[in-house]
Chains A and B, each alone.
Chain A
Amino acid sequence: MKINQDKCVACGNCTYVCPMGAIYIDPVVKRATVNLHECVECYACFNGLSQEHLNPTLIRTVRRIFQMLRLRFEPEPDVCPTAAFEPEELTWPRVVRRAFSDPRVPHESTGVEGRGTEEVKTNDISGRVKVGEVGFTIEFGRPGVGVWMREIQEMCWELAKAGVSFEKKNPITSLMSDVATGTLREDILNEKVMSAIAEVKVPVERTEEIILLVREVEKRLDTVVALGVGTRCDADGEERVVAPILERLGYKLERAKTNTGLGRITNAAPETVKLEVLSR
């Protein structure tokens, strides 16, 4: 993302809306500037700010007068008064940042927006997580911290050593050069993204082992991790297997997503429902 220095009036609105805190007013040029090292190309500034098209010279003059008179200049906080944001053409590997950070852009590997995975949202027709299995969504960088791909690789390495199966229809898996070892492509390791999800599946008996493994590895990462645990309910719609394990591990379960089972296959020639994992 680029800010047109001829248009910017340094109102500072964009410094607050950047989820990564990567925009600042450069004291030398007195213009908003993007720290490209930290910018994850989420486009929150470009997509989220309403755009005015005011004359920059006029606005700078007004701001200077207000400043001299010690009057508070209080524009609407979600407006760029001069439409100064200009997206740049992104090339590989920087384009990876946007794919994982701008939720409106579908991932090429899965065709899904956001973090690019259906998880158990469509489990009622995908059969992704079956009875007796547990699906983990290990999300890095959320909320508002961001994560470097090399940190994700560190977790994937350990998961692979533990012999788990990575979900095939997942953007992180699609960027692995070696799924068996959890190794990501070398050329993306120094890319930072808003957040990304590694997805693995194990038999329910391994739930505790995987959680303890994740807890151990996350100590070495300079980011936050949000762990989601998905499982099937029984014929009565109850879930009596995984919740007790999680509670025994000290988790207080507050929130969950619930698949209501209303989905059904309607395509004329649907994909075959199969075990969608890559095993070691």
Chain B
Amino acid sequence: MTNTLHRFGDAESFRDDYVVIAISSKGRNDENAVPRLRRFLEIARRFNPVNLGDGRHGGALRPTQSINPLSHWRRNMTPDFDAVIAGLDVATTAAAVFDNRVAAEDFLKEVREADLGLSVNISTSIDGAEQCCHAAGLCRHSVGYSLGFEGKTGHLPNEDVLMLSTMCGHGMVSSSLAKKMIDWVKEGRRTPGQAVTYLTRFCSCGVFNPSRACRVLEEARTRTK
């Protein structure tokens, strides 16, 4: 989950970012993991996630291999959660993204009761994760802290771009595209909601948070730096 660990931002900026991931461990609980991962996603669906995905096929908004020219004017901008659930066919990571703590807490409670036997991790602010675990009656087993980015940080783009691009920790959402979308929103060529759908389609495991991205784009619209 280093993928979601190093999202850029302070704790406050993660107030609408709760990523819950289920994963099996090779050789230990990966047998018959697919139906259990699917069950994880089915439970998540009931709590209004902003994204669902798996590590092999992507999230709830995906690129199309054979797009119709007319679809430029009527592209599907609605996440297809059913396709994610139905398409999960290998033991990989399954991710559910929520934009509020209550939903994440309620989801974790249900996952605990479902007793799937999979490792379940939550990635958000440290306090946010603690509160979710507490509310769900879970005792934290391990914790992995992000110490942020070091080294030649001069190579990095500005903070708004980083907040968008690091929401796909695999690096599939490029800084250039994130910057372009900020510019397009500033120019009024796209709404934040439209711009977010372009970015979301590049995330290949479904952990991109469109709700937080929309907020970041809206805030970046009037920022001067």
Contacts and interface: CB of A to CB of B under 8 A. Distances in A.
B92 interface: yes
A18 B145 contact: no
Interface string B156-186: 1100001001100111111111001100100
Interface string A1-42: 000000000000001111101000000000000000000001
A258 B2 contact: no
B188 interface: no
A211 B148 CA distance: 13
Contact of A267 (B4, B29, B65, B149): B29
A125 B29 CA distance: 9
B126 interface: yes
Contacts of A103: 3, 55, 170, 172, 204-205
A180 interface: no
Contacts of A126: 25, 28
A111 B56 CA distance: 12
B143 A19 contact: no
A16 B177 contact: yes
Nearest to B8: A143
Label chain A's interface by main secondary structure: loop
B177 A256 contact: no
Given A104-B56, A230-B142, A256-B5, A16 B174 contact: yes
Interface stretch (A43-51, A91-99, A157-165): A43-51
A227 B65 CA distance: 37
Interface residues of A, number: 99
* Range class of the B interface residue count: 35 or more
Most buried by B among A255, A258, A259: A255
Given A126-B25, A253-B145, A257-B144, A263 B7 contact: no
Contacts of B209: none
Most buried by A among B5, B14, B75: B5
B146 A256 contact: yes
B28 A265 contact: yes
A232 B67 CA distance: 48
A170 B3 CA distance: 15
A249 to B, nearest CB: 9
A218 to B, nearest CB: 4
Given A257-B1, A267-B31, A246 B145 contact: yes
Contact of A122 (B7, B23, B201): B23
B63 A233 contact: no
B125 A255 contact: yes
Contacts of A112: 26
Interface of A: 15-19, 21, 42, 44, 47-54, 74-79, 101, 103-104, 110-115, 117-126, 129, 135, 137, 139, 142-145, 194-195, 197, 211, 214-215, 218-219, 221-233, 235-239, 242-243, 246, 251-268, 270-271, 273
